[in-house]
Structure 1
Amino acid sequence: MSSAPVVEKTPDDSSKLKTFLSILRKFVGVTDIASVRFSLPAQLLEPRPNLEYWNYLDRPETFASIGKSDDELGRMLEVLRFWFTKDLKYIKGKPCKPYNSTLGEFFRCSWEVPDFIPEESNLPGVDAEKENTAKDENEKVKISYLTEQTSHHPPVSAFYIDCAERGVSARGFDQLSAKFTGTSIRVSPGQHNLGIFVNIEKRDNEEYQLTHPHAHLGGLLRGALSVTVTDTCYMTCPKTRMKAILQYMEEGWIGRTQNRLEGVIFRYDPDNDTTTKTKDVRESDILARISGSWHGKIYYTPAGSKEAILLIDITPLFPAEKEIPPSETQLSNESLKFWSEVTNAITGKQYTEATKLKQDIEERQRQRAAERKEQEIEWKPRFFTGAVTPLGKPELTEEGQKVLEGIRAGNYTLEESSVQGA
C-alpha cells in the first residue's frame, strides 16, 4: 500500500529564485533556452497552465471597442488602447513560470463585458451620446477565445479571439525565444511569432498587425522579478495606409522607474515600408503623437494640436476574470483538467508528488513523439489547419470554428480528441 503524499514546506520567493538562478546558469551562452528541454521542479512553478495564463485579453472590453470609431485615426487609437491593456498581468502582478504546454493541449474561455470604456468618447469618430446610451443600458458583449499547442519543437501555440457582436477578431502564433544573460532573461518573439493580427470585419476587413517588442525579465539577483521593456514595436494597417511606432524608453540609472513610452501615428506606404524609428518620420506624415507611461496614463496628441488627450488610464485596471467551461464538460487534454492533478499537488504543498506527476506527463509526451517518428506520422492540430502555417496567421479548421460557435452559445459539448500528444 502506497503512503500518502507528504505535505512539504513552501519555499519563499527568494529561495525559489535562487534555485531558478542556479538552473539558469547552466544555460549562459545558449542562444534560445525556450527551445531546450529541461524540467523545473514543481515548487518553482506557478500552478497554472501556460495556455490559460498567456493571453492578450486582460481587459477584453478594450478589444471589443475596436472598430467603433468612424474615423481611421480613431480606429488605430482603439487598436493601441487594446495593446496597452493586453499585458496587465505583468504590470499588476509578478511574473511567474506556468506549466509548459503539451502538444495538442488546448484552452477555451470567454468574457462577457460592458460594451463601454470611460475613454471611449475621447477618440475622433466616436459618437459620445450614442456610447453614453450604451453605458446607461449596461449593454454587454461576449468575447470568445480558443488556443491550442500546435507544435512542441519548436514550442508554438495558435490562438483565435472573436467578438461576433462587434465584428472584430484577432489571431496569431505565440512563440518565445529566451536568452539568459547572466543577470536577466531577454525574451523575444520566436520566428513563427509575427505578432497579433486584428481584423475589423465591419470596416471593410481592415487588418492591423501588432508586433511584439523584446522584454527583459530582471530582478533575479535581488530576488524580486520584474519585466522591463526598452524596445520598439509597430502597428500597421495597409488598407488605411496608417502605421504606429511605439518606443519604450530606457530607464535612467538613478531615480524611480518611469516606464515611459513615446510614439507616432503616421501615413506610410505599405509597398515601401522602410521607416523604423520615430525620428525618421516626416512631420508632414504625422497624424498623432503618443506619450505617457505604460504603467499609468497614456495620451495622444493630434497633429497640429498641443492638447494631450487621454487614451487609456492603466492605473485602476486589473485583469478581468475568465468564464471557463464547467469542469464536467472539459476534455482530458483541456488545460485546466489536463494539469489538475499537478495543480492539486502543488496547491496541497506536495511538491515531490507534483514533480513526479509532471515528469510522468513529460515522459508520456516523449514516448508518443518517438512513436509518431517511428511510424512516420506527422502531428496535425485539431482546431487549426497548420502547426506553424499560414505564416503568422493561423486558420481555424471546421472543428475549430464550431468550438468558437459553441463558446459564443455557451455550449461546451465536445468529443474527446482521437489522438493526443501527451
Structure 2
Amino acid sequence: MSSSTAPSATSSPATDAPDEPQTEGSKLRTFLGILKKFIGVSDLASVRFSLPSQLLEPTPNLEYWTYLDAPNAFIAIGTSEEPLDRMLEVIRFWLTKDLKYAKGKPCKPYNSCLGEFFRSEDPKNVGFANRWLFAQCNWETEDNAPRIETAELNGCVSGSEKGSLRSLKVPPKSDKNESTVSLSVPKHGASTPDKKPIRISYLTEQTSHHPPVSAFHITCPEKGLTARGFDQISAKFTGTSVKVLPGEHNMGIFITLDKHGGETYQLTHPAAHLGGLLRGALSVSVSEMAYITCPETKLKCILHYVEEGWLGRTTNKIDGVVFRYDPENDTKTRVQDVPDEDILIRLSGPWREKVVFSLGPKPMKSVSPEHQYTIIDIAPLHVASKILPPEDQQLPNESLTLWGGVTKAIHAKQFSKATDLKVELEEKQREKAREREKNKETWQPVFFEHVVGNGGKPDLTDKGKQVLERAQQGDWSMEGIL
C-alpha cells in the first residue's frame, strides 16, 4: 500500500481565488445551525461530523492543546522545601495553564486522527491511518518566578530575612483595597541576568480515535519535574451554550516532583462553557469544581469556579481553600464542607484577571488588603511560543505538513478548498478505521504503553523516553527510534 501524504495546494478542484468574505455574525449563525442538529445528543465529542473550514482555527489539535502557556510557572513547582508552599506553586501553575482563553478568543482546532504526524517518519510505508499521530515540542523559559514562603508572609522569620518580602512589594496604587505583595510569575521572555534558560520537553500522541483520547508527557529534568495524563473531552449543546467536561478517561494532570521523593499532585478539570452563541459574541466561562490533591503531603485544594453572579452576569470568579485531608477518606468536595480548623489557605478572585490568597481560615472579605497576597496576575502575561522542529526537517506526514494545505487555504480565505482538503483527510482516516475493524486489528500507541487506563497516568515506552531525551538535547532526529 502506498504512502499517503497531505494533498498539495493544487490537488483540489476548488479555485485558488479567495472566497467571498464571511462576517463573524454569519459564521456564528452557521455554527449555531450545525449545533441545533445535535440538541439532545449526550456527547458531541463522540459524534462524527465535520465543521466547515471557516469555523476552524488553522492549527492541528495536538499542537494547540498544551498546558504550558506560562512555562516559567511550571518550572517553579517544587522550589520550596515546605509542603504548603509547594501546593501554592502548583496552584499558581494551574491558574496559568489556560492563559490562551483568558487572553485570546475561543476557537476550534483541527480534529486529531490516527495517522497524522507532527514529528515522525514511516519506516514500514504502511499507509495513512496505520501510522500514528503525535506532537513534540520544547519550551525554553526563565527561572524567574517569585519564591513562595508562607512562613515569611506570616511574620514567622527574623527581620533580616524579610528583605526578600519587601522586594515583592508592588508599586503603590490608588486603590487601597488591593494586595500589596505579588507572587505572580513575570511574563514569558522577561530577562533573568546570569541565568540560562531552562528547557521543557513535551510529547503527546493520539492513543484512541473513538473515543478521541490523547496521552501526554512533559519533562524538565533540570528541575526534576514531570507531568502526564490523558486528554479527552465530553461536550453537550444545551440550546444556548456548549458545555464541555473531561471525558471518562481524563483523570486530570499528574505532576511528579522527583526532588521531593516522587511527591505527586493530581489536578482535575472543571466544566467549561462556550457561550454567547445567541448574542453573536463567543466567550468561555468555567463552572463547578477543580481539585488538586497530594496524598504524600495530605494537602488538598478545592477551587470553586463561580460561573454567574447577581442577575446572571458572568463573574469568572474563583473561591478556594487549601486544607489538610485524609487520602484514605477523601470526602470533602465543596468549599463549605471543609471545617475551619483544617483550612490553611483561602483563595479568591477572577481567574481571567487576578487571584489572591490569605493565610488561615478567616473569610477573605474579613482579611485586610495587606494580608491578601497575589498568586497570579494575568494582565501582563502572554502565551509562550513553542520551539518546533525546523521546517526543513519536518517530514511529509507531520502534523504541520499534513494539514499544511488546509492551513494555507484558510489563511488565503479559500474556505471551499480548505473544506474539501479537510474532508478528504478525514475520510481517509475513516476508511483505515473501517479496515482495522474488518481485520480485527488493535491499535497500539508507539510512544505510550497505554491507550487509556492506568489510573489516568500513561507510561512512556522506550521509544517515547528516547524521543524526550533527544528533545532535551535539542535533537529532533528520529533515526534509530522509528
Flag whether TM exceeds 0.5 (same fold): yes
TM range (shorter): over 0.9
- Kindly indicate whether the alpha-carbon contact (under 8 Å) linking 2:446 and 2:463 is maintained by their aligned counterparts in 1: yes
2:78 equivalent to 1:79: no
| Alignment pair present for 1:179 and 2:190 | no
Q: How far apart, in 2, do the equivalents of 1:139 and 1:255 lie? A: 48
In structure 1, the partner of 2:226 is 169
Q: Does 2:231 align with 1:203?
A: no
1:259 and 2:316 correspond: yes
Q: What's 1:336 paired with?
A: 400
Q: Who wins on radius of gyration, i.e. which is larger?
A: 2
Residues 144-200 of structure 1: CA distance to partner in whole angstroms, max 9, x if unpaired? 111111110000011111111101110010000000000000000000000000000
Listed as ranges, the matches of 1:385-404 within 5 Å are 385-404=449-468
Between 76-85 and 323-332, the greater mean CA deviation after superposition: 323-332
**Which string of whole-angstrom CA distances, capped at 9 and with x for unpartnered residues, describes residues 91-119 of structure 1?**
101100110011122111111111012x4
Q: CA deviation at 1:395?
A: 0.9
Aligned 1:294-333 pairs, distance under 5 A: 294-303=351-360, 306=367, 307-333=371-397
Aligned match of 1:116 in 144, 150, 172? Answer: 144
C-alpha distance in 1 between matches for 2:285 and 2:393: 39
Structure 1 counterpart SS, 2:141:
strand
Shift of 1:330: 2.5
Structure 1 distance, partners of 2:242, 2:480, is 38
The residue type paired with residue 46 of structure 2 is: S
Aligned to 1:69: 80
Q: Which moved more, 1:4-13 or 1:348-357?
A: 4-13
Matched, 1:235 2:292: yes
SS in 2 for 1:15: helix
Show CA shifts across 1:323-373 (max 9, x none). Answer: 111123223443212211110111111111111111111111111111112
Amino acid at match of 2:407: T
Aligned identity (percent) is 54
Cα distance in 1 for partners of 2:110, 2:195 equals: 37
CA distance in 1, matches of 2:312, 2:329: 41
Taking the aligned partners of 1:3 and 1:211, their CA distance within structure 2 comes to 44
Distance 1:136 1:125 in 2: 25
Instruction: Identify the residue that residue 18 of structure 1 maps to in structure 2.
Output: 29
Give the Cα–Cα distance (whole angstroms) in 2 for the partners of residues 91 and 416 of structure 1.
Answer: 41
CA deviation profile, 1:60-85 (whole Å, cap 9, x unmatched): 11000000011100000000000000
Alignment-derived partner of residue 53 in structure 2: 42
Question: Which one-letter code corresponds to 1:365 in the other structure?
Answer: Q
Matches of 1:379 and 1:351, distance apart in 2: 33
The answer on whether the counterparts of 2:201 and 2:220 sit within 8 Å (CA) in structure 1 is: yes
Residue of structure 1 aligned with 2:135, choices 100, 107, 111: 107
Letter in 2 for 1:105: L
Whose RCO is larger (CA < 8 A, sep 6+)? 2
Measured against aligned partners, the alpha-carbon deviations of 1:366-405 in whole angstroms (never above 9, x if no partner) come to 1111111222211111111121132311111111111111
Q: What RMSD, in angstroms, separates the aligned Cα atoms of the two structures?
A: 2.3
Q: In the alignment, which residue of structure 2 is the partner of 1:273?
A: 330
- 3-state secondary structure, aligned to 2:452: coil
Q: Which runs of 5+ in 2 are unaligned?
A: 1-9, 115-131, 154-160, 169-190
Q: Contact 1:248–1:259 at 8 Å: present in 2 too?
A: yes
Contact conserved, 1:71 with 1:124, CA < 8 A, in 2? Answer: no
Distance 1:100-1:417 versus aligned 2 partners, 3 A rule: farther
Match of 2:99 in 1: 88
Residues 57 and 359 of structure 1, relative CA distance in 2, 3 Å threshold: same
SS for the counterpart of 2:454 is coil
Contact kept? 1:122, 1:310, Cα under 8 Å: no
Report whether the alignment pairs 1:285 with 2:380. no
Q: Larger deviation: 154-163 or 1-10?
A: 1-10
Secondary structure in structure 2 of the residue aligned to 1:229: strand
| Local SS of the residue matching 1:391 | helix
Structure 2 residue aligned with 1:345: 409
Question: Aligned AA for 1:172?
Answer: G
TM-score, normalised with respect to structure 1: 0.93
Number of the residue aligned with 1:412: 476
Taking the aligned partners of 1:113 and 1:77, their CA distance within structure 2 comes to: 20
Report the Cα offset of residue 4 of structure 1.
Answer: 4.8
What letter matches 1:176 in structure 2? I
Q: Name the stretch that deviates more: 75-84 or 328-337.
A: 328-337
Could you tell me how far apart the structure 1 residues matched to 2:361 and 2:27 are?
Answer: 52
Stretch of structure 1 that moved more, 6-15 or 225-234:
6-15
Counterpart position of 2:423 = 359
What is the TM-score of this pair, normalised by structure 2? 0.82
Q: Is the 8 A contact 1:332 1:416 kept in 2?
A: no
- Partner amino acid for 1:120? R
| AA partner of residue 207 (structure 2) | T
Moved more, 288-297 or 66-75: 288-297
CA contact (8 A) 2:60 2:403 kept: yes
Q: Residue 329 of structure 1 contacts residue 414 of structure 1 at CA under 8 Å; is this kept in 2?
A: no
User: 1 CA distance for matches of 2:100 and 2:361?
Assistant: 36
Quote the offset at 1:408 in angstroms. 0.9
Query: Which amino acid is the alignment partner of residue 34 of structure 1?
Result: A
